Amino acid sequence: MITVKEILIDTSSSMGETLPGNKIKMDLAKEILIDKILPYISSADKVGIRLFGGSCNMVGGLQNIPNANFRKLRDFILNDIPAPRGSTPLALAITTAVDNLKLEPNAEREIYLVTDGEETCGGNVKDAADYAASNGISCKIHIISIGVITEEAIKQFEYITARTGGKNISIGTKSTSKASIDKELSFLLETNLDSFCDAIDREFIDNNEHYRNIEIKSIRDFVQYKNSEVNFIPGINGATCQKLLIVEFYNDDSGLSNLIEALQHVEACELKNKEVLILMNKWDNDYYSHYFKSWVKQFKKKGVERVCMKLDGFKSYKEL
């Protein structure tokens, strides 16, 4: 499935206000987009950027960047965002973005909305969110709100993300230090099973020769090279418990030991490991389908929501 994402950037006048640490809201928005959001969505087939703000009908044209070309995306963010001014046509911005994304059939669609406040032009935010969530579109909207926001903004953002299945992140309310921003963004940017498998399929498998030339010959090497926020058994001990736990099962003996260690890891992480991906180099449907049933039950008893396997060298994954 292709992935299409659109970044909506609020350019209303309040985005020119100062945050703790004397950082301008718009400057912080640019920093997190370039340093955090763009690298996170770099495996998307298409990424678009759209500006909104100013007059109440001011929603900019789409800057569509094929293959998530990082340089072009960065250059646009650095050079083409005007000085903040005017109002916040939030509902119109969402509807405009969804109208564009729904033109991509059979695609995974997401919007990353960077803003500091609620709708100020009389638009109906609930209707816009309902439209994004409607059958045939199913577009997730993730909101990154900057600075202290009003009660009305809180209500609007909570409705949008709950309705569309997106994440609602607040940054820069008390501090704009790197450590503080990294912590606040961690919930949005955690690696999950789908995004990890997508990165393997699009980068590692499709560019296998390139990675071999720089001594990256396995998925474990790739994980270390990319500094992926995952837990990996054996051999990579994450500093913290992550959402995704990856387990190697390359032969029955070592694989069994790794599965036992994985169960212990999940228990120690106290429900933070929500997904388990088992890496394999062979698959016998008659044997392994039965073999893993008891393991899946044990993982789910400990709070894991999904257990999947991925076969080396092949794209996609199989849910167990």
**245-271 pLDDT per residue, tens:** 999 999 989 999 999 999 999 998 888
Residues 184, 225 within the same domain: no
Q: Are residues 300 and 244 in the same domain?
A: yes
Domain residue limits at 139: 2-189
- Average pLDDT value for residue range 17-42: 92
Token pair belonging to 264: 């212990």
Number of neighbours of residue 75 by Cβ within 10 angstroms = 12
Contacts of 262 (CB under 8 A, 6+ apart): 233, 245, 247, 276, 299
Domain end among 161, 189, 217: 189
The number of beta carbons lying within 10 Å of the beta carbon of residue 162 is 12
Chain center to CA of 52:
22
CA distance 116 to 14: 7
Higher pLDDT, 209 or 138: 138
pLDDT of residue 68: 64
For the residues 97-109, what does the mean pLDDT come to? Answer: 89
- Give the closest residue to 203 by CA, choosing from 224, 226, 220: 226
Chain-centroid distance of CA 254 in Å reads: 32
Into how many domains does the chain fold? 2
Average pLDDT of every residue of the chain: 89
Cβ-in-10-Å burial (0-12, 13-18, 19+) of 103 comes to exposed
What's residue 311's pLDDT? 93
34-90 pLDDT, tens per residue? Answer: 988 987 887 778 899 999 999 898 888 888 777 667 788 889 999 999 999 999 999
Q: Are the C-beta atoms of residues 59 and 18 closer than 8 Å to each other?
A: no
Of the three residues 189, 212, 239, the one that is the final residue of a domain is 189
The torsion defined by the Cα of 146, 142, 118 and 173, in degrees rounded to 10, comes to -20
Q: Do 162 and 222 fall within a single domain? A: no
| 217 and 176 together in one domain | no
Pair (160, 248) in one structural domain: no
Domain with 148 in it: what CATH number?
3.40.50.410
233 and 106 part of one domain: no
Per the CB < 8 A criterion, the answer to whether 129 and 163 are in contact is: yes
Amino acid at 254: S
Specify which of 3-7, 70-74, 145-149 reaches the highest per-range mean pLDDT. Answer: 145-149
The type of residue at 187 is F
* β-strand pairing of 244-249 with 275-280: parallel
What are 229's two structure tokens? 């926020």
Do residue 295 and residue 219 come from a single domain? yes
Q: What is the DSSP string of 90-159?
A: HHHHHHHHHHHHTTSTTEEEEEEEEESS---SS--HHHHHHHHHSTTT--EEEEEEES---HHHHHHHHH
Q: What is the pTM of this model?
A: 0.68
The reply to whether 133 and 219 lie within a common domain is no
What is the bridge-based pairing of β-strands 46-52 and 23-24?
Answer: unpaired
Which of the listed residues 126, 161, 189 is the one where a domain comes to its end?
189
102-116, 176-190, 229-243: the lowest-pLDDT one: 229-243
Comparison of pLDDT for 95 and 60, the residue scoring more: 95
Same domain, 93 and 231: no
Cβ atoms < 10 Å from Cβ of 31 = 15
> Do 151 and 249 share a structural domain?
no
